[in-house]
Amino acid sequence: MKIEELEADLKNKQLHNLYLLYGEETFLLETSLKKIKTNFGELVKGINYIMLDETNIQNIISDIETPSFGYEKKLIIARNTNLFKKSKKTASSKDNSFEANLANYINENSEEIKETVVLVFIEEIVEKNKLLEAIEKNGIVCNFEVLKPAQISKRLKAICNAYKVNITEQNLQLLIENCGTNMQDLINEIRKLIEYAGEGGTVEKTAIESLATKQIDAIIFDLTDNLGKKDIKKAMEVLDGLVYNKEPIQKILITLYNHFKKLYIAKLSEKYNRNLAEAMNLKPNQMFLTTKYKKQAEYFKETELRNILEELINLDQKYKIRTN
């Protein structure tokens, strides 16, 4: 099931009895989990509300079968159980059998579970195994993948519309480029901009640039742009701003090194006609960065980029020698 489909179900108060929610977009995942709890109704811990994790997941079948005295159903949330990782050859047979036994139990007792329990698994990593297959067969599996910029823009636009505030697609893209793709961060930023614009107002580019909190990666883009344009004064102002905001020097240097490494990869990819997104191992929501890296790489020669990387490595070695 897609995220939007799950959200639509929960908005309509349609509650299934078995879920597996996982993925990197934890803000939307946790928001959906809260809606599951809200739709479920009153929760009394230990009676009709049970929380499990890796330390006590062995009790899950017992918890499913124990009546929720005084309540029609029981909500069981099993978080980070590690039951959805492929069994390694070195793993004990006991661990292997529990995952398989639980899968068989769900398959054999799906109707009984549907009548008495809402069972929700929350995981960071999910790999194909018997338990996953059992939940796919009997319940809902939703992968909360990091959203692509177009999906993020749509959600942010909906928030703006709800508050009767206008914003262009171009400015939404600018906000994402400056603040990253984390939904929690972006929602915090868009709410700040909405409050500034006011009902009936418009979120302008100047407001985004002056009010939105830029990620260090976006700031390094600005710094490198100024270096590429040979505007050393502005580049130093950007660097001074990072230091003034108490960004650790080590973090600044690491971010600079990784940034120039990507520019070097962009330069080599163009030279040897390679796919830049694959060379950089970019995620689907980061594809818009390829154009920015290509454009910025044009400011530098291949030898210049290699020399910058070597200088940063030498700086790191000198720092370690000095601190040791």
Residue range 246-263, pLDDT digits in tens: 888 888 889 999 999 999
Q: Which pLDDT score is estimated for 96?
A: 54
CATH number, domain of 19, equals 3.40.50.300
Do residues 168 and 240 both lie within one domain? no
Residues 169, 279, single domain; the answer is no
Q: What share of the chain in percent tops pLDDT 90? A: 60
Residues 32-54 as b or e (16 or more Cβ within 10 Å = b):
bbebbeebbeeeeeeebbbebee
Write the pLDDT tens digit of every residue in 124-135: 889 988 999 999
Both 108 and 158 in one domain: the answer is no
Q: In terms of pLDDT, which residue wins out, 163 or 97?
A: 163
Do both 238 and 310 map to the same domain?
yes
Each residue of 201-225: pLDDT tens digit?
A: 999 999 999 999 888 888 988 899 8
CB atoms closer than 10 angstroms to residue 4:
12
Q: Compute the mean pLDDT over every residue in the chain, rounded to the nearest whole number.
A: 89
We report the CATH number of the domain holding residue 280 as: 1.20.272.10
Statement to judge: residues 272 and 183 lie in one domain? no
Output the pTM of the full model: 0.74
- Quote the pLDDT of residue 285: 67
Tell me which DSSP letter residue 63 carries: H
Same domain flag for 92 and 62: yes
Among 87, 111, 143, residue at a domain's last position: 143
Does 191 share its domain with 294? no
Burial class (CB in 10 A: 0-12, 13-18, 19+), 316: middle
Whether 76 and 13 map to the same domain: the answer is: yes
Residue 321 has a pLDDT of 66
Q: Are strands 18-22 and 117-123 parallel, antiparallel or unpaired?
A: parallel
Q: Examine the domain organization and report whether 179 and 308 are in the same domain.
A: no
**End of a domain among 191, 211, 231?**
211
For residue 165, the enclosing domain spans 149-211
Model confidence over 73-131: pLDDT tens digits? 999 999 999 899 875 444 444 445 888 899 999 999 999 899 899 999 999 889 988 99
Nearest to 154 by CA among 138, 135, 167, 139: 167
Q: How confident is the model at residue 324 (pLDDT cuts 50, 70, 90)?
A: low
pLDDT > 70? residue 56: yes
Which CATH number does the domain housing residue 189 bear? 1.10.8.60
**Same domain assignment for residues 186 and 161:** yes
Q: Residue 274 — left, alpha, or beta (φ > 0 → left; ψ -120 to 50 → alpha)?
A: beta
91, 112, 143 - which closes a domain: 143
Q: What is the DSSP letter of 12?
A: T
Q: Considering its fold, how many domains does the chain have in total?
A: 3
Angle, in degrees to the nearest 10, between helices 249-271 and 232-244: 140
Whether 118 and 170 share a structural domain = no
Closest CA to 68 of 50, 81, 51, 85: 50
Same domain assignment for residues 198 and 315: no
Positions of E strands within the chain: 18-22, 49-52, 74-79, 117-123, 140-143
Q: Which long-range contacts (CB under 8 A, 24 or more apart) does 259-265 make?
A: 259/217, 259/220, 259/221, 259/224, 260/224, 260/305, 260/308, 260/309, 260/312, 261/309, 262/293, 263/224, 263/293, 263/296, 263/297, 263/300, 263/305, 264/297, 264/302, 264/305, 264/306, 264/309, 265/293
